[in-house]
Amino acid sequence: MKKKELERIEPFKKALLKVGKVLKEHGVDFVLVGSLIMPLIYEIPWDVHDVDLFILNKCVFAESEFFEELARENDWDIGTTMHGLIYYEVLVNGDIVRVDLMENILDIYIPEQMLKNAAVKKIDDLEVKHIRLEDLIILKAREASQEGDEFLNKLAELIAEDRYNIRIDKDYFKKALEYFPEDERQSIYKRVLKCGIYIE
């Protein structure tokens, strides 16, 4: 990626490192999900708005006091989403970065096997588990939302440009699709195709 694009994601990377290190120090396991994987893991230029961490071994909703205490100890502002989940607002070089702590609740759903399949990448001195590009495509298609469609359309445009060298693992995609109920698979697949990402 170009220097300008790297500079744009630097606050998000630093917020991930700050929060990620504290979580790990307190025994919290997590997977990086959401659009930050695009530039940070796959070096695909992308506008990022926050950091999404899926918490694996604690219940954000039921153990909110634990996560609130971490915010107090580290001087992070804290808020709650409409789902009742927690987010931190972390100050990084004058920028405020939102870090969402997620779990499966209401319409937020990431299959357990998808999380188990998370790859690992070392970001500076922190090993970060992250979902795969194919997983993110499926999750965005499953949203069936304007935002999800915009994501898929933009990605389809970038895939068409050879300079980005974006490759979809079609075998893995088809396997990950099977983590969802059979009646959802066809609509997810059709939405991906409709947006111009072809999985043959």
Question: Which pLDDT tens digit goes with each residue over 9-68?
Answer: 899 999 999 999 999 999 999 999 999 999 999 999 999 999 999 999 999 989 999 999
Q: Check if the beta carbon of residue 102 is closer than 8 Å to that of residue 115.
A: no
pLDDT value for 8: 84
**Which band of pLDDT confidence, cut at 50, 70 and 90, is reported for residue 108?**
confident
Q: Are 87 and 79 spatial neighbours (Cβ–Cβ below 8 Å)?
A: yes
Q: Above 70 in pLDDT, residue 1?
A: no
Domain ranges of the chain: 1-131, 132-200
Bridge partners, residue 92, by sequence: 95
Are the C-beta atoms of residues 61 and 105 closer than 8 Å to each other?
yes
- pLDDT for 88 equals 98
Q: Are 83 and 105 in contact (CB under 8 A)?
A: yes
CATH number for region 1-131? 3.30.460.40
How far is Cα 93 from Cα 89, in angstroms, rounded to an integer? 13
What pLDDT score was predicted for residue 61?
87
Tracing tokens 């409409």 back to the chain, one arrives at: 82
